[in-house]
């Protein structure tokens, strides 16, 4: 098995790609840290616990819910915080919170935080390179349509390059990731067979969904993730989108690794 730091790995021959399907949160846009803050605010934690967590969800919880729809992760979060920290046990000042209430409050909080959300490193360059090569692109995100529109405000160049945007509340998406529904729907709307699509994902939930759809999958996992699991499941594992080598998938002009290295060398010369 190749090193987890190598941008490409595995022995399966790669198929040429006719379309690209992107996850949104944590893949194209740097929303995951904002999502944690929004969640902890929604939970209304006591002050000492809020200070202890310091704006971050415990990784053992975060890793379980990455890529899920709100209807799926909200009961998991409530159960975790109740059993681990006693949050929401019904004692005075510690009200029980329903999954729908947590999800709704989290969405409201995140919308406020995401008005100025920035792209992930390499995202703009990669989307631009794919657009220049003529590859059709889609976003397939578990986020709801309203939340996606907020994230779009400061990232219109990325969103306008997409031929299709499929959200988690789309009626055609009956099941969330790790089921393949959202990627199958995105591929169908682009008019491309899923086997000819390349999926970009940051979560294992999303990687499994992409593979279940019959797509090739590039994973860009959180540094805290179990890299072995990603290496065993995805077709390619990167530390960032800047490492992507399009020629490995028959995509010319989308070798960000080479172009990034050249920029760094030129910068050092200057």
Kindly report the CA angle at 103 between 100 and 106, in degrees rounded to 5?
Answer: 145
First and final C-alpha spacing in the chain: 38
From CA 196, how far away is CA 194, in angstroms rounded? 5
Q: Tokens representing 204? A: 């294992």
Active site residue 222: no
From CA 101, how far away is CA 106, in angstroms rounded? 8
> How many residues make up the chain in this entry?
270
Active site residue 235: no
Beta bridge partners, 39, equal none
Q: Name the active-site residue from 23, 36, 170, 235.
A: 23
Measured in degrees and rounded to the nearest 5, phi and psi for residue 29 equal -120, 145
> CA Rg, the chain, in Å?
19
Q: Name the active-site residue from 25, 36, 170, 235.
A: 25
Preceding peptide of 68 cis, ω within 30°: no
From CA 118, how far away is CA 200, in angstroms rounded? 18
Q: Is 65 helix (H, G, I), strand (E, B) or coil?
A: helix
Residues labelled catalytic: 23, 25
């Amino acid at each position: 098995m190749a090193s987890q730091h190598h941008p490409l790995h595995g022995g399966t021959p790669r198929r040429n790609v006719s379309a690209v399907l992107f996850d949104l949160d944590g893949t194209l846009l740097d929303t995951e840290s904002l999502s944690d803050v929004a969640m902890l605010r929604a939970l209304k934690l006591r002050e000492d616990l809020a200070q202890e967590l310091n704006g971050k969800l415990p990784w053992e919880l975060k890793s379980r819910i990455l890529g899920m729809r709100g209807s799926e992760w909200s009961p998991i979060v409530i159960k975790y915080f109740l059993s681990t920290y006693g949050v929401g046990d019904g004692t005075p000042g510690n009200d029980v919170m329903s999954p729908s209430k947590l999800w709704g409050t989290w969405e409201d909080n995140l919308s406020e935080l995401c008005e100025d959300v920035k792209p992930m490193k390499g995202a703009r360059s990669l989307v631009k390179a794919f657009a220049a090569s003529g590859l059709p692109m889609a976003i397939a995100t578990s986020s709801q349509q309203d939340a996606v529109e907020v994230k779009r405000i400061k990232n219109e160049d990325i969103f306008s390059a997409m031929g299709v945007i499929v959200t988690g509340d789309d009626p055609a998406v009956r099941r969330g990731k790790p089921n393949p529904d959202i990627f199958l729907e995105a591929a169908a709307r682009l008019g491309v067979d899923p086997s000819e699509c390349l999926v970009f994902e940051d979560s294992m939930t999303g990687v499994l969904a992409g593979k279940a759809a019959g797509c090739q999958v590039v994973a860009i996992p959180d540094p805290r993730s179990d890299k072995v699991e990603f290496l065993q499941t995805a077709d390619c594992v990167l530390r960032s989108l800047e490492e992507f080598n399009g020629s490995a998938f028959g995509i010319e002009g989308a070798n960000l690794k080479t172009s990034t290295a050249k920029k760094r060398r030129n910068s050092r010369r200057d």
